[in-house]
A and B are shown apart, each in its own frame.
Chain A
Amino acid sequence: MSPEKLTMMANQIATFFKTQPGADGAERLAAHLNDFWEPRMRAQFFAHVDAGGAGLDPLVLEAAQFVRRPAEA
């Protein structure tokens, strides 16, 4: 998947959690990724984050610390 598409998807999810009350938006966003993103997608996600995470919403970047790093395939 292209980094642009991945960024768009992650940001779309962030858009929802940003509107939710409470201070745990990053945790909840991360939980969503852990629940629904297959390890390959999370690996691509980390590759992009590790490369600076261009275009990612700040909430996504904050959430990255709570996202489970997939085991090396």
Chain B
Amino acid sequence: MKDFIIPWDDKDMGTPAKSGKPVHLTIDGAKVTVPEGTSVMRAAAEAGLDIPKLCASDNLEAFGSCRLCVVEIEGRRGTPASCTTPVHEGMVVRTQSEKLQRMRKGVMELYISDHPLDCLTCAANGDCELQDMAGVVGLREVRYDAAPEKANHFATRDTSGQPNPEWLPKDDSNPYFTYDPSKCIVCNRCVRACEEVQGTFALTIEGRGFDSRVSVGAENFLESDCVSCGACVQACPTATLQEKSVIEMGVPQRSVVTTCAYCGVGCSFKAELNGDQLVRMVPWKHGKANRGHSCVKGRFAYGYADHPDRILKPMIRERIDEPWQEVSWEEALGFAAKKMRGIQEAYGQKSIGVITSSRCTNEETYLVQKLARAVFGNNNTDTCARVCHSPTGYGLGQTFGTSAGTQDFDSVEKTDVIVVIGANPTDAHPVFGSRMKKRLREGAKLIVIDPRKIDLVKSAHIAADHHLQLRPGTNVAVVSALAHVIVTEGLADEAYIRERCDWDEYLSYAEFISDERHSPEATFVLTGVDPDVLRAAARTFATGGNGAIYYGLGVTEHSQGSTTVMGIANLAMLTGNVGREGVGVNPLRGQNNVQGSCDMGSFPHELPGYRHVKGAEVREVFQKAWGVEIDPEPGLRIPNMLDAAVDGTFKGLYCQGEDILQSDPDTKHVSAGLAAMECVIVHDLFLNETANYAHVFLPGSTFLEKDGTFTNAERRINRVREVMAPKAGYADWEVTQLLANAMGANWHYTHPAQIMEEIALTTPSFAGVSYDVLEEKGSVQWPCNEAHPDGTPLMHVDGFVRGKGRFIVTEYVATEEKTGPRFPLLLTTGRILSQYNVGAQTRRTENSTWHQEDVLEIHPHDAEVRGVKEGDWVRLASRSGETSLRAKLSERVSPGVVYTTFHHPDTQANVITTDFSDWATNCPEYKVTAVQVGLSNGPSDWQERYAAQAEQSRRILPAAE
């Protein structure tokens, strides 16, 4: 078992850090120097003098309500609260005196007199700040009776047996935490956490004085606006807001710092345990991506790790209509290796391939692509990033010269105009969404380009300045129209362009984009965006100061995905918004390690570090490291693999941690491809949908069960640390190694750190990365090498990576997917907060409380003409197929557009999506499908047939003893 990993100092300093010129003062005789604006409380904490406190916490602005933190200041009358008093030059402070002690005891006495004294059986026992403070101030008696006959909040009945009107029952409606009002000291920390950290404003304090209470403004937490991020639970100093897992299992005794395995934000967490039992996940305050915050998925949705559906024994079968046979690891690997080699003998070296996962670690991904290149001897490796961000790689590579976001997340704190295109950060990247909202509340402007009214368009205390509600599939037209306005109105930053970009290319681009056909007035017929709104947005972006563009899958998953990415890069270069803090082009990556899986050479044409396989020098590097010849020809991409499978030339697949049958478009084509293969090896936690077509199942390990690294959307390499031993016996990287060796390789890695050494050795942008460096610095952003030993928070600072930034002409081309009489509506897809991707993990947690099924959002007008009412079963059909789901009437979508998520296999939204794809990368066009909607009376025939097939193929025979 892993040693106790001591988190770098985690002490609560009381109030947030400030930056300002140095101020000198004396506290209890000690000389202290802190930045201007710092509170006396924080200054004292930095000198190691902890002042008692209850309502202060260093992730919240000081509030000054408990008066426990009083101090004496020379030359000043009274006893000010140290949390709300800023330092100034020459100040002399005393934190301890008889008077202060008496006052603090008085404060504590009052609190305790209205608090149930059941500490020994309280869930927060040992982790309660009220308890700690009682100890610190030396509280020995409570003169005010904590007597049931006096008014109080904790006794259920008074002495005469009458119900106490002040007492409120516990609210345990939220699946993950409880609210017990009898223990509340009304310190306001939860309210401020919900406002300042999360930005949801679900909580308020109602009433005054003795009557004041925390209120959720609804029946209970579950019914309220609360998004269950847990910030209030973490902020609460008492057991009032408490994790259910702690109530059940007790206060955790050890912790390991690791990284969330859900989304591309890459939040750092302390996994807190007793023995190898995970008690809770607490966002780590020193995590540079999340700064101590998290969302409901990372903090609470880890229950899938010991869900009974997990498969812990390897399984094989000759044919997919047979039941599974549980076997030993040895037998399963031997079976797989023999089949794969057999296929290669019969159908050629290129008849098998791999799919790497954006959920697995960098080290695991590196090994899987190495398996294809060094052991199979071909470049048939691809990753699920194909289906989400491959256009980012192509588009940004062409324009800037590197395939990655330009900024770190902190950069948003310096942004004046935020542009969000085809992304829904409050749902898909919640922690970054919260940081964005914080900046918006501070006054930054917001432009949203999205067919749907996403939460950012209007929610508590924020509203978009411009919402360009475009018709799905017209991103290029909108982005070009923005550029048209900027260029023709003379708003382009020509000085920047002359210095940083290729001027001739700019001139020809400017001529192209100035043409009338790109004007907002001309594109209106395509996009449906009001020209005035579009012009106003363009002016705001070009003239509003630091402008930063954040985009997501709503940009990439189109037939013109790569073109839109280039258009976005053009916009940033036109306005001089690349190369410093507060600006930039930022792809928001879906899954936790999309960035890493791309970096690690998962694509069939690229070796690690985005270097094309045709390059002889690059191949030479790997040939030397691996001792094999590397094929100079590009391999097959996922859709090409499936095509080749149907053609009969691709017969074997090793698929790690990826469910292509559920997540890839055009389900029928995927299943036909899989069914045509002779050996499909699925390496996963659960019998996923793809496994219905598999011959070998290798049990996977969760992120809690292995060491490694993930790279988040800001290129930050974060450590994943083993929290408990792998439940199936092996971490995923070990399984890949065993498979490679069973096929004749001779790998002997004993720890992922050695794999990282090999990555650093072969890949220049990772040259300076090692587990030692990560241990020391916590995390680094690549490139990290001799030139940038501490990593690179901002890219393109002294010019673009490719030299001169390149403007590329972006002509709008209508997608082939058009509406018509048969399919008059446009379907677009997305995701919601509580579920993740295909939902394999989140569906197996209490998160399903919030999202039990996928629903179809449809505008009331479109619903009415079809006779569809809220909650009706409707049939959703496209030229690819049809499915059924329930309707939800919503004005978030415009008339003519419908929307759904794809978190549940029963819905099979991808039966509907077509096989159209991005022209450059074959990234599928998930975001636009022409459909028709009509009433139905339940699941479609296809859904029922599918469910029956799935049931059939999931039968397991136990191992023969």
Do chains A and B stick together as partners? yes
Whether A39 lies near B919 (C-beta < 8 A) is: no
Q: Considering the complex, which residues of chain B in the window 591-620 have a beta carbon less than 8 Å from any beta carbon of chain A?
A: 604-605, 612, 614
A23 to chain B, nearest CB (A): 13
New A-B pairs, 17, CB < 8 Å, besides A13-B920, A36-B637: A1-B646, A5-B643, A5-B915, A9-B922, A12-B559, A16-B813, A20-B808, A21-B508, A21-B512, A21-B809, A36-B605, A38-B380, A38-B633, A38-B636, A38-B640, A39-B633, A40-B644
Whether A37 lies near B811 (C-beta < 8 A) is: no
Chain B residues contacting A70 (CB-CB under 8 Å) are 633
Chain B residues contacting A32 (CB-CB under 8 Å) are 920
10 tightest A-B CB contacts, nearest first = A19-B811, A12-B919, A1-B643, A38-B636, A21-B508, A39-B633, A13-B919, A15-B813, A16-B919, A38-B634
CA distance A33 to B109 in the complex (A): 78
Whether A20 lies near B919 (C-beta < 8 A) is: no
Asked whether B803 is an interface residue with its Cβ less than 8 Å from the other chain, the reply is no
Chain B residues contacting A54 (CB-CB under 8 Å) are none
CA distance A41 to B512 in the complex (A): 34
Asked whether B348 is an interface residue with its Cβ less than 8 Å from the other chain, the reply is yes
Asked whether B350 is an interface residue with its Cβ less than 8 Å from the other chain, the reply is yes
Chain B residues contacting A1 (CB-CB under 8 Å) are 640, 643-644, 646-647
Chain A residues contacting B809 (CB-CB under 8 Å) are 19-21
B563 to chain A, nearest CB (A): 7
Whether A40 lies near B350 (C-beta < 8 A) is: yes
B550 to chain A, nearest CB (A): 25
Chain A residues contacting B559 (CB-CB under 8 Å) are 12
Q: Hey, what's the 0/1 contact readout for B804-845 against A, CB within 8 Å counting as 1?
A: 000011110100100000000000000000000000000000
CA distance A35 to B380 in the complex (A): 14
- What would 25 A/B residue contacts be, using CB atoms closer than 8 Å? A1-B646, A1-B647, A5-B643, A8-B816, A12-B919, A13-B919, A19-B809, A20-B808, A21-B512, A21-B809, A32-B920, A35-B614, A36-B634, A37-B634, A38-B604, A38-B637, A39-B350, A39-B633, A40-B636, A40-B640, A40-B644, A41-B636, A41-B640, A73-B348, A73-B350
Chain B residues contacting A16 (CB-CB under 8 Å) are 563, 811, 813, 919-920
A41 to chain B, nearest CB (A): 6
Asked whether B584 is an interface residue with its Cβ less than 8 Å from the other chain, the reply is no
Q: Which chain A residues have a beta carbon within 8 Å of chain B's beta carbons? A: 1, 5, 8-9, 12-13, 15-16, 19-21, 32, 34-41, 70, 73
A19 to chain B, nearest CB (A): 4
CA distance A66 to B813 in the complex (A): 25
Asked whether B649 is an interface residue with its Cβ less than 8 Å from the other chain, the reply is yes
CA distance A19 to B350 in the complex (A): 35
* CB closest residue in chain A, given B604: A38
Chain A residues contacting B637 (CB-CB under 8 Å) are 36, 38
Asked whether B783 is an interface residue with its Cβ less than 8 Å from the other chain, the reply is no
Whether B508 lies near A15 (C-beta < 8 A) is: no
Residue in A19, A40, A70 with the greatest tally of chain B CB atoms within 10 Å: A40
A3 to chain B, nearest CB (A): 12
B719 to chain A, nearest CB (A): 34
Chain A residues contacting B380 (CB-CB under 8 Å) are 38
CA distance A16 to B614 in the complex (A): 23
Chain B residues contacting A8 (CB-CB under 8 Å) are 816
Asked whether B473 is an interface residue with its Cβ less than 8 Å from the other chain, the reply is no
Chain B residues contacting A9 (CB-CB under 8 Å) are 917, 919, 922
Whether B635 lies near A38 (C-beta < 8 A) is: yes
Chain A residues contacting B646 (CB-CB under 8 Å) are 1
Interface of B is mostly: loop
B403 to chain A, nearest CB (A): 14
Chain A residues contacting B920 (CB-CB under 8 Å) are 13, 16, 32, 36
Interface of A is mostly: helix
CA distance A38 to B175 in the complex (A): 50
CA distance A12 to B917 in the complex (A): 9
Whether A35 lies near B634 (C-beta < 8 A) is: yes
CA distance A32 to B921 in the complex (A): 10
* CB closest residue in chain B, given A39: B633
A33 to chain B, nearest CB (A): 10
Q: Hey, what's the 0/1 contact readout for B625-642 against A, CB within 8 Å counting as 1?
A: 000000001111100100
* CB closest residue in chain A, given B649: A40
CA distance A34 to B45 in the complex (A): 63
Q: Considering the complex, which residues of chain B in the window 555-601 have a beta carbon less than 8 Å from any beta carbon of chain A?
A: 559, 563
B797 to chain A, nearest CB (A): 29
* CB closest residue in chain B, given A6: B643
A59 to chain B, nearest CB (A): 13
Chain B residues contacting A20 (CB-CB under 8 Å) are 808-809
Q: Considering the complex, which residues of chain B in the window 315-365 have a beta carbon less than 8 Å from any beta carbon of chain A?
A: 348, 350
A36 to chain B, nearest CB (A): 6
* CB closest residue in chain A, given B641: A38
Q: Considering the complex, which residues of chain B in the window 767-820 have a beta carbon less than 8 Å from any beta carbon of chain A?
A: 808-811, 813, 816
B636 to chain A, nearest CB (A): 5
* CB closest residue in chain A, given B812: A19
B209 to chain A, nearest CB (A): 68
Chain B residues contacting A21 (CB-CB under 8 Å) are 508, 512, 809
Residue in A32, A36, A41 with the greatest tally of chain B CB atoms within 10 Å: A36
Chain B residues contacting A41 (CB-CB under 8 Å) are 636, 640
CA distance A40 to B641 in the complex (A): 10
Whether A35 lies near B605 (C-beta < 8 A) is: yes
Q: Considering the complex, which residues of chain B in the window 903-942 have a beta carbon less than 8 Å from any beta carbon of chain A?
A: 915, 917, 919-922
B713 to chain A, nearest CB (A): 25
CA distance A16 to B919 in the complex (A): 8
B952 to chain A, nearest CB (A): 30
* CB closest residue in chain B, given A71: B633
A26 to chain B, nearest CB (A): 16
CA distance A8 to B918 in the complex (A): 11
A20 to chain B, nearest CB (A): 6
Chain B residues contacting A19 (CB-CB under 8 Å) are 809-811
* CB closest residue in chain A, given B915: A5
Chain A residues contacting B811 (CB-CB under 8 Å) are 16, 19
B607 to chain A, nearest CB (A): 13
B921 to chain A, nearest CB (A): 8
CA distance A8 to B637 in the complex (A): 17
A39 to chain B, nearest CB (A): 5
Chain A residues contacting B635 (CB-CB under 8 Å) are 38
CA distance A37 to B614 in the complex (A): 12
CA distance A61 to B917 in the complex (A): 22
Chain A residues contacting B813 (CB-CB under 8 Å) are 15-16
CA distance A5 to B666 in the complex (A): 14
CA distance A17 to B687 in the complex (A): 43
* CB closest residue in chain A, given B633: A39
CA distance A40 to B347 in the complex (A): 13
Chain B residues contacting A39 (CB-CB under 8 Å) are 350, 633
* CB closest residue in chain B, given A1: B643
Q: Hey, what's the 0/1 contact readout for B268-308 against A, CB within 8 Å counting as 1?
A: 00000000000000000000000000000000000000000
Chain B residues contacting A13 (CB-CB under 8 Å) are 919-920
* CB closest residue in chain B, given A68: B633
Chain A residues contacting B604 (CB-CB under 8 Å) are 38
CA distance A73 to B642 in the complex (A): 19
CA distance A8 to B921 in the complex (A): 14
Chain A residues contacting B644 (CB-CB under 8 Å) are 1, 40
Chain B residues contacting A73 (CB-CB under 8 Å) are 348, 350
* CB closest residue in chain B, given A16: B919
Whether A15 lies near B605 (C-beta < 8 A) is: no
Give the residue of B612, B647, B808, B810 whose beta carbon is less than 8 angstroms from that of A35: B612
* CB closest residue in chain B, given A11: B919
